[in-house]
Amino acid sequence: MRYRYRPVFDGHELIAFAYWTGEQVQHYYVKKSFFVQSLLDSHTPTVPYQHVIKSLDKITLKDYPPEVQAGVKQLRLGQEALTDELPQLKQARTNQELREFVNWFRRKASEDYGKHIKLLSAI
Amino acid sequence: MGYTDEELKASGVEPENQGDRVTTKEQSANELDGMPTRALQRFRPSTILKANKELVKQARGIEPELLENKQAIKDVEVYAEALGNPNIIDNILVGGIEGSCALKHELVEINLLRKSGWDIYDSHHIEQIKQLFAQSIETGEPQNYIPFHLQAMKTELEYAQALLQKKGIYADLGMIAKVLYHLDLDEELFKKDIYTSKLEKTQLELEALGIHYPTHKPIKEELKNAL
């Protein structure tokens, strides 16, 4: 399956990848500290739908959760691209497959956008 | 930890014999204005201790041994408020094994922080602790930033395992984590191709503890019900 994706920047800093799954825009946040508050406590389920946006083309700052809006100074979208490499999350059945999903974004951030981000050795 | 009698007197507060004195109607809000946070906290009734009376009636009381030190319970409430995370208290107020384990985690974490020289009543220290959590999440290397949290997590999981064993239920720590932290909900989202950072973060923490996470392994009903 081909995914469309766009890097999302705050000024020049890569903060996320927005990707189109065919139904909704999803995000992989490179800058995870946006969510420190909600992630501090492992007991509480997160509300990922807050991060879901309907269109990849028309993302604006107001589409993002409050913690992101508060942390971003200048939202800027990079060029849209296509990939066949991004593993489908719904097909991931092992820790290794989940790791590959995360590492795709981490690798992309490192290799294509110069963000030094460590690959997960194992999840 | 707490104010000395001299410090309390200097701030206009009479020293107390017990840490959970309830603010009376006669003590107006104005009377408490200007009081240092640490002293003010001591006048608040404990949310956890108050709620536990109702939980006991529902047969979901917090483990009594965890409630023996009232000042420690107060400290948990102060820590949750200082972190700006009311969910910590909400999780405890679920009661039963789940709530007890959530409380155990915080008690251990605060204790470990103190042993490392952190003061949860110091706003500067709290900011630094929050930064450690942020760096842990940013780097994906919890072992380098939040060992106090990891140790508390492990203690919490082992505590849950021990309480379950008393009920004749055995589960490994990874499965207990899945149920305790409701990660099955995240897995359901993954099946819909929706990614959540919570599962990534928790798995990294479990990995740092050497605990295998059982991805997509079904949860036994008796385990879910027992927690």
Domain ranges of chain B: 1-44, 46-226
pLDDT digits (tens, 9 = 90+) for A51-105: 567 778 878 888 887 888 888 989 888 999 998 888 888 777 777 888 888 889 9
Q: Which residue of B has its CA nearest to A118?
A: B139
A114 in any annotated domain: no
Phi, psi of A14 (to 5 degrees): -70, 120
Q: Does residue B90 sit at the A interface (CB-CB below 8 Å)?
A: yes
To the nearest whole Å, the CA of A75 is away from the closest chain B CA by 19
Instruction: Give yes or no for residue B210 having a pLDDT over 60.
Output: yes
pLDDT at res. B17: 39
- With an 8 Å Cβ cutoff, are B194 and A29 in contact? no
Q: Which long-range contacts (CB under 8 A, 24 or more apart) does B145-152 make?
A: B147/B112, B148/B109, B148/B112, B148/B113, B148/B116, B149/B109, B149/B205, B150/B205, B150/B208, B150/B209, B151/B108, B151/B109, B151/B112, B152/B105, B152/B106, B152/B108, B152/B109, B152/B112
Residue range A1-24: mean pLDDT, rounded: 87
pLDDT band at B99 (very low <50, low <70, confident <90, very high): very high
- At residue A57, the 3 state secondary structure works out as coil
Run of H or E residues at B193: none
State the pLDDT at residue A122: 60
pLDDT at A20: 85
Q: Does B202 touch chain A (CB under 8 A)?
A: yes
The count of domains in chain A is 1
**Considering the domain boundaries, does residue A22 fall inside one?**
yes
* Predicted local distance difference test score (pLDDT) of residue B42: 58
Predicted pLDDT of residue B41: 59
- Tell me whether residue A13 is in a domain: yes
Q: Is residue A113 part of a domain?
A: no
A102 within domain boundaries = no
Q: According to the model, what pLDDT value does residue A2 have?
A: 78
pLDDT > 80? residue A48: no
Overall average pLDDT of the B108-133 stretch: 96
Report yes or no for ipTM above 0.85.
Answer: no
Looking at residue B92, its pLDDT comes to 96
- Quick check: B19 pLDDT over 60? no
A98: tokens are 């989940």
pLDDT digits 0-9 by tens, B85-96: 888 999 999 999
Got the DSSP string for B134-182? HHHHHHT-HHHH-HHHHHHHHHHHHHHHHHHHHTT----HHHHHHHHTT
Closest CA in chain B for residue A52: B194
Please tell me which residue, B61 or A89, carries the higher pLDDT value.
B61
Of B110-114, B139-143, B159-163, minimum mean pLDDT range: B139-143
Do B202 and A118 lie within an 8 Å CB cutoff? Answer: no
Which residue of A lies nearest to B179 if distances are taken between CA atoms?
Answer: A43
Of A23-27, B133-137, B144-148, minimum mean pLDDT range: A23-27
For position B163, what pLDDT does the model report? 97
pLDDT at B38: 59
pLDDT at residue A27, rounded to an integer: 86
Domain with A27, as residue range(s), is: 3-83
A45 inside 8 A of chain B by CB: yes
In a domain, A112, yes or no: no
| Domain-located, residue A19 | yes
In a domain, A91, yes or no: no
Phi, psi dihedrals of residue A79, rounded to the nearest 5°: -75, 140
Do B193 and A26 lie within an 8 Å CB cutoff? yes
